[in-house]
Amino acid sequence: MSENTSHPLVPKNIEQLNRYIAGKTIAEVKEAYNPAKIAKLASNENRLGCSPKVESAILEAFKEIQDYPDPIARKLRAAIAQKNGVKESEVILTSGSESLLSMLCRTFFLNKQNAITANATFVGFFVQAGVRGIHLKKIPLTDDYRFDVKAMVNAIDDQTKMIYLANPNNPTGTYINKKEYEWLLEQVPEHILIVADEAYYEFAESVEDYPKALEYDNDNVIVLRTFSKAYGLAGFRVGYGIAKEEIINNLLKTKLTFEPTTLAQAAALAAYKDDEFLNKSIKVVNDGKERLYRFFDEHNVSYKKSISNSVMMILPTEEEAISFTQKMLELGVILRRINAFGLPACVRITIGIEEEMDHFEECFKKVMTNS
């Protein structure tokens, strides 16, 4: 059969979509370059690993592996509700917050409605919106790499359904402060859903003028969090959303019934209860950031101060960013160029443990003296 061009097999919005390209895996780098040591500092994971309590929890949960998972993750949901002072019915668990972003895109939009976000933010949202053919108004960051809250509000029109804020932002590590967030809340009409993606909440919450979206108690805000970053469970895929029941109940209709899996729920619950490991992880990141700032200052490298677990380095040109990242990769330091996030001359460095930061500094010096 010949293809009917007005009814193509693959719709245009899918054909034109760019796939999410993840950071390189350790196995890929070993195979390609076989460096003596590898530091994976590309994907904002927890380089300390995860809570030691997770292993026995998943072994226990394995006994129930023949049964379908609890579709609303009752135990985990209760723990999250309790810690955050919300009702259990205001919490939804999903396979990573990426899944929740996907659900938000397929639940709230009518044809032709748009979403507003920044031009340099979490690329996972660009991908999920693209899948649904949602028009994105990508507002340029300010000159100092921050969300331009005023310009975002100015971009609201009749067809705007959602405002997506990653706070703190990935890949820049910058944040919308309390004053800006409060102003935004006053300006945005109630029928527009504000998505406050707090994937790095645990690293940010102690920053004085960081607005914790939950504390404002709005009907049209959903807060997104994840177990992939501070809790070190990226491989399990667990994220959650907190919002009023009207939002959660409708999301429960569009969710894949049995996400997250039984083992993932058990792992997340064990991790969630282990404050000691969490605090240790936060300390590793804070110490590592201070060390990296000093190192960059000594070497006259431009960067942005960050309240997440990564630091963005600003190179003079895209060519230099490509060459720097490639040379570091060959020496065994996996970094993330963030061209897909909208910043072609920038490179994102996840804060690792001490040995990894040693390796980063050593390789950095080698690369810089040889070029």
DSSP string, 290-320: HHHHHHHHHTT-EEE--SSSEEEEE-S-HHH
Q: Closest approach of Cβ 24 to ligand PLP, in Å? A: 16
User: Residue 321 carries which DSSP code?
Assistant: H
Q: Closest approach of Cβ 81 to ligand PLP, in Å? A: 19
| Residue with nearest beta carbon to ligand PLP | 96
Binding residues for ligand PLP restricted to 139-198, rule: CB under 6 A: 166, 170, 197
> Are 218 and 185 contacting, i.e. CB atoms less than 8 angstroms apart?
yes
> Are 71 and 257 contacting, i.e. CB atoms less than 8 angstroms apart?
yes
* H/E element, 61: helix 54-61
Residue 96 or 211: which CB sits closer to ligand PLP? Answer: 96
Residue 30, classed as helix, strand or coil, is helix
Q: Closest approach of Cβ 226 to ligand PLP, in Å? A: 3
Binding residues for ligand PLP restricted to 194-233, rule: CB under 6 A: 197, 199, 226, 228
Residue 96 or 232: which CB sits closer to ligand PLP? Answer: 96
> Which residue of 81, 234, 301, 340 would you call a contact of ligand PLP, by CB under 6 A?
234
Q: Does the footprint of ligand PLP cover residue 350 (CB under 6 A)?
A: no
Q: Closest approach of Cβ 200 to ligand PLP, in Å? A: 7
Tokens representing 312 are 């963005």
Q: Which of 264, 218, 265 is nearest to 244 (CA)?
A: 218
Tokens representing 116 are 């507003």
> Which residue of 42, 61, 92, 96 would you call a contact of ligand PLP, by CB under 6 A?
96
Residue window 26-65: x/- pattern of binding to ligand PLP, with contact defined by CB under 6 A:
------------------x---------------------
> Are 267 and 57 contacting, i.e. CB atoms less than 8 angstroms apart?
yes
Residue 128 or 160: which CB sits closer to ligand PLP? Answer: 128
Residue 228, classed as helix, strand or coil, is coil
**Cα-only R_g, the chain:** 21
Binding residues for ligand PLP restricted to 121-140, rule: CB under 6 A: 122, 124
Beta strand extents in 76-178 (DSSP E only): 91-94, 114-118, 135-139, 160-166
Q: Closest approach of Cβ 237 to ligand PLP, in Å? A: 6
Stretch that binds ligand PLP, among 17-25, 94-102, 245-253, 312-320 (CB under 6 A): 94-102
Stretch that binds ligand PLP, among 11-19, 91-99, 212-220, 350-358 (CB under 6 A): 91-99
* H/E element, 179: helix 178-187
Q: Closest approach of Cβ 125 to ligand PLP, in Å? A: 7
> Are 95 and 238 contacting, i.e. CB atoms less than 8 angstroms apart?
yes
Q: Closest approach of Cβ 233 to ligand PLP, in Å? A: 9
Q: Which of 45, 48, 22, 39 is nearest to 328 (CA)?
A: 39
Q: Which residues bind ligand PLP (CB under 6 A)?
A: 44, 96-98, 122, 124, 166, 170, 197, 199, 226, 228, 234, 239
